[in-house]
Structure 1
Amino acid sequence: MRQNVLNDLLQPFALEAAKKEANSIAPAELVQLLMEIEPSKRAIAFRLLDKDKAIRVFEYLRPDDQAELIQAMESPEISALLEELDVDDRVRLFEELPAKVTKRLIAGLSPQARAAVNLLLGYPEGSAGRLMNLRFLTVRSTATVGAALATVRESTLEPSELALIFVIDEARYYRGFVRPVQLLKADPSQLIADLLDGETIAISATDDELRAAKLLKTYDLPAIAVVDSEGRLIGDITFDDVIDLVEEEATETILEQAGVGSLLNRDRGWSEKLVRGPSLYSIRLRIIFLIVTLIGGFLVGGVIERFEETLEAVVAAAIFIPLVMDMGGNVGTQSSTIFARGLAWSQISPPQFMAYLFREVRIGLVMGLILGSIAGGVAYLWQGEPNGIPQLGLAVGVALTMVITLGSFLGASLPMVMLRVGFDHGPAADPFLTTIKDFLGLLIYFSLVGWLVGIA
């Protein structure tokens, strides 16, 4: 209900009311509402938020949603927003933006923020360095517990950034970590060196980011130290930083085990190029498969010419040609659409594909029997019996049953065949489906008419 109110208020004459409504909603809930509003209104709604609320909401958004919102806003607003983000969050956002936009946004940052971003971007993509935070608390191994507690009290870091306190020596070499609770329980005069833990638990900035996720999981830590090639502490990675990475890895593992991981990755790449790539690519790819349809049209014309005598003898048979062709096409399109959605949602996988195919064929056969019976009855009463060719009703009914079953089979199987042989099933499946279905559908129909009516 609240979403509808906010959406309705986003009109030029009601922006003040929309501002009041938007700022009264909790950030986590507001994120969901914003993503349900059409993109053209999303940036308007975001501009109505108070500064602190806007930052909280922006941090809740996924990087790709952040990128979409950024590109819909003006530079002064963006710069102020980016300055408030943690550097690792900025880097993740920049990875989603076009290079030209990223370059412009980095140039608009303060010198300190720009240096931090360039530092992280200097590490390879997918490395721990790209993922690390530069805001963390350190104490010297020679310090006392009392001095460390004073450092914690004076820190401006958020509580979540103080889950671990990293320990370094005079040259900033990593020596381990202590937990705040250890400091509270220890004698204030005790040395930090006596409380050290995790002396060997750290990750190099050039290591794969997945290693950070695995170490955090293995040692059940809220954060892990990131060191340079010489072992000096330069950042940390928290569990919050890798939780999305862990989910993505788990999803990919499940997909690979199901046998669809590589197919989905390839499919996603094709979709990206067709939707956002160069127009020439889309034209070239799509026209190749439309030529298949063009050739198919000539082949279908050849079928009609082959049964010219049948049409001359049974003129009424021509009335049902569109019915036979269109029904098969519609069923095939339904099946191919269901396949594409099932594949995208991991509901169809190669090991289960044959079971799915048989199910789709059974569904097609049942639909064919129902629709074929109806169409056959109408054909008999409308054109068959009045013209003295009652067999026409049977020909239409049987042909429609076979064509609908064929359409279900082709619509379910062709996309998978295309994927297996390395073709993009998006633009490729339907042209092949249309050509095969039209050719075989008319061949079946005319053959039945000629056989049942007794035309040689």
Structure 2
Amino acid sequence: MGQNVLHDLLQPFALEAAKKEANRIAPAELVQLLMDIPPGKRVLAFRLLDKDKALRVFEYLRPDDQAELIQAMESPEVTALLEELDVDDRVRLFEELPAKVAKRLMANLSPEARNAANVLMGYPEGSAGRLMNLRLLTIRSTATVAAALATVRESSLEASELSVVFVIDENRYYQGWVRPVQLLKADPARRVADLLAAMDEAPVAVRAVDDELKAAQRLKTYDLPAIPVVDSEGRLIGDITFDDVIDLVEEEATETILEQAGVGGLLTRDRGWSEKLVRGPSIYAIRLRIVFLVVTLIGGFLVGGVIERFEETLEAVVAAAVFIPLVMDMGGNVGTQSSTIFARGLAWSQITPSQFSAYLFREIRIGFVMGIILGTVAGVVAYVWQGVPNGIPQLGLAVGLSLTVVITLGAILGASLPMVMLRAGFDHGPGADPFITTIKDFLGLWVYFSLVGWLVGVA
């Protein structure tokens, strides 16, 4: 149903019905449905959502998707949306936007929101200070439990922001933290400092200038609901929750697994190449792709040289020309299949350097079996169609054997060239297929004409 609703958003006459239905869908599900809409229509779908639902959906989006949506919206509605975001989410979004766009949006914010964003953006990129929340509840260590509970009750923070209460002294130096449930169970007359002493745990914190990964690691190590962020002198200035670093934790875990599998470095480079080709400057993509297409151009001339070299064979066995496209195309298609399978297997860590030999031998076996099957079929067709009528039944055998060799060769090249290019530091995305095409066409036609000349008896 949700998918039909979002398709309805593209129809002006169905907007009201689509609005009612879309607002009933859970935000997490709606995010995926929203991303299935063409980018040009995504803003229209987003505008149909109620204010609170729109904010929830926007928070679920990845920063780069948020940036794309923001740039397609009008300034007033963007400003209203940014004002509702937590300051750390707002700063992460600004990092994804072009500098000019971020600067313009910043200028439209209220002084309070702008100042909060400036505080975070004053810290180095990738630091804990960039991630921290500025909205947190603090109480003095000298306060009584009763006073602390009153502060919790009067707080405007949401329940998710009150999982811990941070304790500071009169100079805002960080002392530790307590959970609200501890306050509820304690004697109202006790001091908060006594609760900290009873916990018998040294305060754990990160400095604002520390690397963001350090905050993520400490959250995991100490199993904390939130970790405080302090300045260089130990004064509490913010906190970081697990929600703030979940992406970092996932990325770190993924990188660790990939490094153990031996493909971490390869995938890191591959991800960077893909990002530049998909979203980088057009001139970069043009320059890189032309370089590899020149390989195909040169290969075309070389293949032309092969045809010229066997000109006498072609003149003597004109029917052999009928199967040139077949020999060239089949090997190319198999090579493309193998290179695509390799790329997907590498991305999902199903192919690793340590297992590559086994994978390559598997592809060789698969290519050889496909070559025999397709070569046999093509050979029979060539024998009946052009061989017997032209008095050269050997042509069927030449086509069948050539196709077996070319298909096997295509599988070998498609499976091995991408890994060779990765190891050598080249982008296999735009580069593998041109090399596969050139090598396969040159060798495939050479084998084909050689077999035709030998089997038919042409000098």
The TM-score with structure 2 as length reference comes to: 0.96
Q: Report what 2:131 is aligned to.
A: 131
* TM-aligned CA deviation for residue 277 of structure 1: 2.3
Partner of residue 346 from structure 2, selected from 323, 343, 347: 343
Question: Are 1:429 and 2:432 matched, yes or no?
Answer: yes
Question: Are 1:267 and 2:283 matched, yes or no?
Answer: no
Q: Residues 177-210 of structure 1: CA distance to partner in whole angstroms, max 9, x if unpaired?
A: 1111111111111111101145431111111111
Q: Report what 1:283 is aligned to.
A: 286
8 Å CA contact retained: 1:10, 1:18 = no
* TM-aligned CA deviation for residue 353 of structure 1: 1.4
Q: Report what 2:333 is aligned to.
A: 330
Q: Residues 22-69 of structure 1: CA distance to partner in whole angstroms, max 9, x if unpaired?
A: 122222222232122222222111101111111122122222221221
Match of 1:224, SS state, is strand
Q: Report what 1:177 is aligned to.
A: 177
CA distance in 2, matches of 1:13, 1:381: 61
Give the letter for the 1:129 counterpart.
Answer: G
More moved, 113-122 vs 276-285: 276-285
More moved, 282-291 vs 379-388: 282-291
CA distance in 2, matches of 1:214, 1:267: 26
Match of 1:366, SS state, is helix
Question: Are 1:115 and 2:118 matched, yes or no?
Answer: no
CA distance in 1, matches of 2:56, 2:94: 18
Match of 2:72, SS state, is coil
CA distance in 2, matches of 1:406, 1:3: 44
8 Å CA contact retained: 1:136, 1:162 = yes
* TM-aligned CA deviation for residue 9 of structure 1: 4.1
Q: Report what 1:76 is aligned to.
A: 76
8 Å CA contact retained: 1:399, 1:448 = yes
Give the letter for the 1:38 counterpart.
Answer: P
Q: Residues 304-329 of structure 1: CA distance to partner in whole angstroms, max 9, x if unpaired?
A: 12212211221111111111111111
Give the letter for the 2:250 counterpart.
Answer: E
Q: Report what 2:153 is aligned to.
A: 153
Q: Residues 364-421 of structure 1: CA distance to partner in whole angstroms, max 9, x if unpaired?
A: 1111111101110011111111221111100000000100110111111111111111
Question: Are 1:13 and 2:16 matched, yes or no?
Answer: no
Q: Report what 1:60 is aligned to.
A: 60
Q: Report what 1:188 is aligned to.
A: 188
Question: Are 1:299 and 2:298 matched, yes or no?
Answer: no
CA distance in 2, matches of 1:340, 1:100: 36
8 Å CA contact retained: 1:9, 1:17 = no
Match of 2:307, SS state, is helix
CA distance in 2, matches of 1:9, 1:34: 10
CA distance in 2, matches of 1:199, 1:152: 24
Give the letter for the 2:377 counterpart.
Answer: I
CA distance in 1, matches of 2:27, 2:312: 73
Q: Residues 276-322 of structure 1: CA distance to partner in whole angstroms, max 9, x if unpaired?
A: 22222222222222221121112112211221221122111111111
CA distance in 1, matches of 2:166, 2:402: 76
Q: Report what 2:456 is aligned to.
A: 453
Task: Return 5+ residue gaps in structure 2 as ranges.
Answer: none
CA distance in 1, matches of 2:355, 2:57: 41
8 Å CA contact retained: 1:6, 1:21 = no
Question: Are 1:401 and 2:394 matched, yes or no?
Answer: no
Partner of residue 231 from structure 2, selected from 228, 231, 252: 228
Q: Residues 319-342 of structure 1: CA distance to partner in whole angstroms, max 9, x if unpaired?
A: 111111111111111111221222
Give the letter for the 1:80 counterpart.
Answer: A
Task: Note the 1:26-41 alignment, pairs <5 A.
Answer: 26-41=26-41
CA distance in 2, matches of 1:380, 1:356: 35
Query: For the aligned residues, what is the CA RMSD?
Result: 1.4
8 Å CA contact retained: 2:293, 2:434 = yes
Match of 1:235, SS state, is strand
Give the letter for the 2:156 counterpart.
Answer: T
CA distance in 1, matches of 2:338, 2:58: 40
Aligned length: 456
8 Å CA contact retained: 2:5, 2:22 = no
Q: Report what 1:202 is aligned to.
A: 205
Give the letter for the 1:397 counterpart.
Answer: G
Give the letter for the 1:85 counterpart.
Answer: L
CA distance in 2, matches of 1:288, 1:240: 44
CA distance in 1, matches of 2:186, 2:276: 59
More moved, 176-185 vs 277-286: 277-286
CA distance in 1, matches of 2:242, 2:285: 41
8 Å CA contact retained: 1:372, 1:400 = yes
Give the letter for the 1:151 counterpart.
Answer: T
Give the letter for the 1:281 counterpart.
Answer: Y
Query: Structure 1 pair 60/278, CA: closer, same or farther in 2 (3 Å)?
Result: closer
Q: Report what 1:379 is aligned to.
A: 382
CA distance in 1, matches of 2:21, 2:72: 22
More moved, 251-260 vs 143-152: 251-260
More moved, 59-68 vs 373-382: 59-68
CA distance in 1, matches of 2:10, 2:313: 64
Give the letter for the 1:208 counterpart.
Answer: D
CA distance in 1, matches of 2:36, 2:6: 11
CA distance in 1, matches of 2:287, 2:28: 44
More moved, 5-14 vs 404-413: 5-14
CA distance in 2, matches of 1:214, 1:399: 58
Query: Structure 1 pair 439/7, CA: closer, same or farther in 2 (3 Å)?
Result: same
Task: Return 5+ residue gaps in structure 1 as ranges.
Answer: none
CA distance in 2, matches of 1:163, 1:131: 18
CA distance in 2, matches of 1:394, 1:270: 44
8 Å CA contact retained: 2:141, 2:168 = yes
CA distance in 2, matches of 1:353, 1:239: 37
More moved, 278-287 vs 173-182: 278-287
